[in-house]
Each structure stands twice: as C-alpha cells, then as structure tokens.
Chains A and B, each alone.
Chain A
Amino acid sequence: MNKLQERATDLLKGGTVKLIIGFEQGNNKIRPFFCEKPEDAEKLIYSDDCSTNNAVYLTKKELIGDNKIAIIATYKEIASIIQLNKENQIKKENLMVLTVDKDGDVTELTSFEEMEKFCEENTPAPDPVVAALIEKIDKMNREERWAYWKSELDKCIRCYACRAACPLCYCNRCISEVNCPQWLDPWKSTLSNIEWQINRVMHMSGRCTGCGACAKACPLDLPIGILTKKMSTDIKEMLGEGEGGNVLSTFNPNDKENFIH
C-alpha cells in the first residue's frame, strides 16, 4: 500500500471520516471513487487525469449526509472548494482536504489560506487547444461566429451533463427547470440550447474556476468549455478580479464600458 492508501485506511479504521472521495482506475480512464471501507482503500489512486471534478459531490446531501468526510483533491477540487465555501455550501468542520505530492506524500490542507496558497502554487498551465479555439472564434466575423455556434449548439441533446458535472451548479432547482415562466424551452431546440449556454455562462460569471469539467462531461464533446473560459478571461480584463469570486453581485462605480450612451 502506498502512503495515500495507508492514510485512507487509518482514517476509515479510526472512524475519523465516514467516507473518502477519491479516484480509482476505471475502464480506460480514471474515475471518482467513494471509499467507505478500509479494505477498499487499496483501490485509491491519486491522479489529476480524472475528467471529473470531485468537488461536485460535496453538495450532494444524499451522499455526504452530516458525516465527516475526506476528499482527495487536485487543483480542480480545491479551487472549487474555496468557491463553494464563499457561497456557503461547505461545512468546513465536516470536510478534510487531502492532497498528494509528487513523492506520494499526503498533506492535509486545514485552512482556506492553505488551499488558496496551494492553488496559487499549482495553477495549471492554460490549455493551448482551448486558447487556440477562442482565438479562432474571436477572429471570425459576427456571422461566422453565429454560424459556428448555431451549428455546434444545434447538436446539444440537453442531457445537462455539463450542469451535472459542474461543482458550482448546485442549485436544487435550475433555471432550466423553472416553468413559471418557462424561461427555457425544456426540449432540444437550437434556440433553447443557445439560451441554456448563455445562462450557464452568466451564472458562472466570476465564479467559474476553469476546471473544464463541463466540457469533459459533454457526451457530444461540444466546445462549451471555451464559453466559460472566454467569459472568465474577459471578465478579468473588463472588471478586474471581482471580490470573492463574486462579480455580478458587486460593482465598482468606475466600471468601464463603451456601449452605454
């Protein structure tokens, strides 16, 4: 057993935590793993190749209950945990955040300061593919952009995997499920597919941690991740960093724009 598995075994045996959310080897890919029994700890692996952001499970009451749990976290999970905490969605006293370094050593991040520091030190390099695609679309004229997105989003089957995979899409009732009024047509249509993505991006404004789980979850591999990425980059440019990941519910009297006459 490696150090992670040993630590996990100890935590579960000693009853420190009821559950450890981590990773295991799945079919050709790394997948989330819920480890409840010490004897399962040997299945735990550490990898930042998992397409899922496991912080998504931290807001699922049916899984967590009021138990103390541990999460084996990569940059993605930690960035989301920080944001979830700002949004009052985390009970810190019930959550143990564990990271594994290059040597396999397990470290517990006990405070949000430590988590912030971890994120600063481990910020992944931007995805060049995403950047290239954004650049490509930025260079298109408006008609081309519309044609591009119309054809891409026309494919969307509205399975909402993008929503389900996002740790920050934790609403009990999503706007897509509101029917008085029916903001979004609940059926697949080009318009409501586009509107859905606009809503997703607006709702993520300033909150998105850029983990990319939405895009990776899309069964049709639609380029929806670049929407949030583009929004995050531009928001920083247009409005600055925003306070506490909270861009649309704060303001600066000196916000600059050039389109209000």
Chain B
Amino acid sequence: MSRIGVFICHCGENISATVDCERVAQEAGRLEGVEFATDYKYMCSDPGQTLIKNAIKEHHLDGVVVGSCSPRMHEATFRKTCAEAGLNPYMCEIANLREHVSWVHEKGEATTRKAIQIVTGLISKVQRNKPLNTIKVPVTKCALVIGGGIAGIQTALDIANCGQKVIMIEKSPSIGGHMSQLSETFPTLDCSQCILTPRMVEVAQHPNITLYTYAELDKLEGFVGNFKATIRLKAKSIDYSKCTGCGLCTTKCPNKKIPSEFNEGLGMRTAIYVPFPQAVPNKPVIDKEHCLYYQKGKCKICSKSCPTGAIEYDKPDEFMTIEVGAVVVTTGFNVLKTDFFPEYGYGKYKDVITGLQFERLASASWPTLGEIRRPSDGKIPQKVVFIACCGSRDPAKGIPYCSKICCMYTAKHAMLYQHKVHGGDSTVFYMDIRAGGKNYEEFVRRAIEEDHVNYVRGRVARVYEKDGKLIVKGVDTLLGAEPVEIEADMVVLATAGVASKGAEELAQKMHISYDPYHFFAEAHPKLKPVETNTAGIFLAGACQAPKDIPETVAAASGAAVKVVSLLSQENLVREPIVAVVNRCAPPLFSTCVGCFMCETICPYHAIEHEEIKDRKTGAVIKTIAKINPGLCQGCGTCVSFCRSKSIDLEGYTNEEMYTEVMALLNH
C-alpha cells in the first residue's frame, strides 16, 4: 500500500481565493493510499518546504503530490525538497491548481471539485511512479570544429582559451574562409586580413588547438559527450614535417593557368600552390586534378626543385578517428555565380562580376595593390553598376529569403570604388536598403551623401554588351517607373548567399536537420540559436543562414560557451525522462519483435539495434530495439507508436498516464 503525502498550497490567496484548499486536502486524505494530507499558505516558502520534508520523514511517505502553481514554475523546487528529505524526486508530482484552476475559474463548488479531481488523478499517477535516477553520461573533453572560417576560428579560440581541447578541420588547404578574401569590412572599413590573419596564426599556434587542413568529416557516430568522428585527411602530396614553406616549387610548377579559388577565378595559380600569401599553414598542396604528374604521369618538377625532398606523390588519403564531446559546425556559405543570371550576362561578360570578385579586385593583396581595374582589359572602370538582390528575395529564383549582407557590402563596394576611382560614377540598383545594425544605416547614408553613390530603387531587367559597354537596363520606381539605362564599364552583382556545397550531405552525416535551402537548422529560432536538434552539435556563422561578420563572431562565441559548459562537466547529467525498451525473462527476452518501424519516428536517431545472444554459443537469438539514453530527448512518440507496447517512457509510462486519466474520471 502506498504512503502518499498531499500538500495543498494556498499560494497566499492566489489559490485559496477560489479553491477551498482545506477541503481539497481533506478529500485527498480520504483516498486510498494517502497517508498524509494538509494545506498551507505558502508551500514553496522555507517553512512550507520544511513541512513537506518533515512529513516525508515522519510518515515515511513514498510519494508526494503538491497542489500549487504550475509545475513549470515549481516542479524543480518541490522535487528538490523531496530529494532533500530522502525521497526520490521523481516520486513528486505537481497538481496545477493555480494557472489551471484558481486563476481561470470563479470561486465555487465546481472549481474546488476540479481541484480535487486533478489532485486525485495525480495521486493515482504517483502511486504508479517509479523512482528514477538522473542519467550520467561521461564527456570526452575535446571539441571538433568543422570549418576554419571566421566562425570556426572564433569558436576554436574561445573554447581553447577556456582550457578545453579543440580539433579543427578545414576542407581547403588554408583556414581563413571567406573573410580572408575580403578587402575592407563594413561599417568601419578596416582591412579584413589585418584583423583576421593574427587570429589565423593564433589558431595554428594555440597549444589547445590541433588543426587539420585539407580535411573533411567522413562519418560522425555517437551522441552528446561521446562522439566518434572519422576524418578524411586528403593527401596533400607534401610532407609538412619536411616542407619549410620556401615556395620554390610554386614558382617552378609548369601549370600556371588554374583559376585561383582564393581570387574567385580572377587570378591564376599553379598546380602546387599556397592559396594565398597569408595562408595558414603557409605550405603548399598539390592539386591532383591539375598536376601534370598525376594527370599524365610525367613532370615531377616540384619534387626536383624541392630543397628538402618534401614532395610525396604516392601518399593516399588517410582516415583518422577521433573522439570528441561536442561538435561545432561552421562550414559557412557560398555565393551564387553570375551564370545563374542569364538576364545579366549568363556569366559570359567578363566585366559582370560577383560581389566577392569585387572584394578581390579592391583588395590590397590583389596584383594591382588595390587599384580597381576591370577583369576584361585591366582598364579602370569609369562607370560601375551595382545590382543588389541578385537572386535573393526572388522566389522565382528559388531564394525567397534575404541574403542580409548584400545591402551593406554593396554600399561598401560603391564607397570603396568612389574612394579609389576619383571621378568615377557608381550606381546601385536596390529593392530596399536593409541596414539594420550598429552604425550600418549611417554607413549607407555616407555612401550616398558623402561619396555620392547614385542609389536607384528598382530592378535591373537586362545587362547586355554594346560597343564595348555594358548596357544596364533598369527602372527607377521612385521616379514613376521611369526606365533607366546606364552604359557601364563594369557590373557587380550582389549574388545571393547560399548554403555551402555539400551542406545537405554533411547534415545527413551528422543527423542534424536543415531547411529547404540546405542551411542548417537551429534547435529553436530564438532561444536555441546555436544549438541543433542533436544534443552536442552546435552551429555558428553563415552555415545556418547568411550572416555578417559581427553576427558570425557573436554566434561563434555563443557556440563556444555552449561547448565549454558541456565540456566542463565530468559527466552530463540528464533528466531520466527517456524511453526504454522492455526486457523480460527468456525465451522472450523482450516483447520487442524488432520490426524497427520506430526507427523512422525518432527525431534523434536514438533507436539502435541490440542483438540478444545465446550466452554459450554466442548465436544471435533475436534483435530488438534499444534506446540510446544519451540521444533520447523523451518525446515519447515511439512509445505510443509501438504496437506491442514494448517501449515505455520513464516519467510518463503507459501505466502512469492510463491511471491518471482513469482516476481523473473516477473510473
């Protein structure tokens, strides 16, 4: 026979004003299994809690029902109270007599009756409750950061500076990401590389950070605190322990006509190459696709020229398995190429370029040392048209969202152009100017007012070439839809930011969700912006949605704190509200028949296969489902789906819920 204690709180007068608390306690006290029942003015107060603790001890209570405010308010409080008195905290249930009764009903018999019913239901439930213990999951004290752009760099440094180990992988030969390609940054116009490269170096030299460039995630298994990641270390064809980074090989390489990724195809590189002068690590890799030796079997000039004999052609890709407790995904974004826009030249006019290409043209590390010269003939363009929202906010192009950074960088581009080409003429076609951010609006105003950039609100219909000029046909909607035609020397498209290549595949590898545009999905758009739905995997930067640098850095630091707070624990303590597959005596072992139809129902991929083997022979007797408590979040969808009722949810078991419903109905 149970020994339940019932404690009805008046909540000052919040409950007792409409509910006859004394009577609720009296009626509860008459129920079978109830050992002690009382009411009190403030149950959550110190004396109230002491009352509960004393009653637990004095009456040897094995279950407690507190009739009070919402469990969302004080469930944790009263469970702790019970635990302090030696009662398992999960043997405490909260009847919501305030938000669900006293505050929503008038004083009267029906209101008190309802309170009694709710308490009755929970008394029955708590009699079926089982003591539960929090789940402890050991934590591997190391984080994996995927992607070495500014998001990854910031995350890694923040985690590392908190004393935790970080492994960073970057798929390209150098870290730095898109930020390293930028010329100046809005709204301060400070040099991107000047602020970034010190951090890149810091990453490389930090004792807590292990950096693997030219490396990709191959597989991710496990769960929060206990991930096992398999990393593919792409063969660089260079032994970095021997390479001094002297660069001789890159000058000797005969294949010099490969479009440079770093320069967005505007410049060329060799097959053995360092992506850019400030690269970290500043050592070359061989691009096998363009290397004559790999393609034709002959050349080896780099090997001959290398003073330290660091070239190793025959080394295959290697795989490395690492154990980490948390993962931060910072894989960034891409921009649409100009050939996405047939109406703007189909990628066939050399002087129609993307914003990112413009960044390179304006960059001090560009061969012109930052002097803006157009790609086709190297002339200084006298008239430049900037087209905002190229793809963005255009459902017809499949991109209904705003790419967010374009308004600002377009203003910056126009401004840079005006600064660098005196007497130059720049026009920006825009839909709206979205300059929400600290000093952003002022920045745009400066471009318009001080640098006299011509802002035209309207869309560009076509760009075509005529007599060596790019004819930009648009419309000025603020001047009564007046057609506008500009003969430009160069056109810069603010092409939409899109998910980075392979984002979908990567998300599937990690079992995290993504939106229709393949940007990774956060767990909650407001309250969990850097978490994913998979515990232990976090997001930062533009892999989640287009973001500017300040936002990316803020998110990166946010993700870092989440990681650090996770890694700083010896064990993860989790609520024991998880699903379990039943086990029973042989020959059945479990009533689970292993249909595994529940697998597709679990949003957390927490359902695993467990083989039950004969102890003597080791032969598999049956395969049943097993819930990984580290992954299960306790939604219970599998429980109500399971046909044979072989899965149950701790804290909300079938028996508990059934009993509560029937008791509510006095059935």
Contacts and interface: CB of A to CB of B under 8 A. Distances in A.
A249 B644 contact: no
Given A89-B595, A170-B593, A181 B658 contact: yes
A178 B654 CA distance: 11
A87 interface: yes
B645 A183 contact: yes
B596 interface: yes
Interface residues of A, number: 19
A129 interface: no
A133 B599 CA distance: 37
A180 interface: yes
A87 B643 contact: no
A87 B595 CA distance: 4
B591 A249 contact: no
Contact of A178 (B594, B598, B641, B645): B645
The binding surface of chain A is classed by DSSP as loop
Nearest to B643: A203
A184 to B, nearest CB: 11
Interface in B639-667: 641, 643-646, 654-655, 658-659
User: Which bracket fits the contact residues of B?
Assistant: 20 to 34
A173 B591 contact: yes
A88 to B, nearest CB: 5
A159 interface: no
B643 A246 contact: no
A180 B591 contact: no
A181 B659 contact: yes
A249 B659 contact: no
A171 B594 CA distance: 9
Interface string A145-159: 000000000000000
B601 interface: yes
Contact of A249 (B594, B600, B623, B655): B600
A175 interface: yes
B596 A248 contact: no
Nearest to B648: A180
Interface in A166-197: 170-175, 178, 180-181, 183
Nearest to A84: B595
Contacts of A181: 654-655, 658-659
Contacts of A183: 645, 654, 658
Given A181-B658, A249-B641, A171 B597 contact: no
A175 B654 contact: no
A250 interface: yes
Residue picked from A87, A174, A181, A248, most chain B C-beta under 10 Å: A181
A171 B593 contact: yes
Contacts of B644: 171-175, 178
B601 A175 contact: no
A257 to B, nearest CB: 18
Contacts of A172: 588, 591, 593, 644
A183 B642 CA distance: 14
Contacts of A203: 643
Interface in B565-605: 588, 591, 593-601
A203 B258 CA distance: 61
Interface of A: 87-89, 170-175, 178, 180-181, 183, 203, 243, 246, 248-250
Interface of B: 588, 591, 593-601, 623, 641, 643-646, 654-655, 658-659
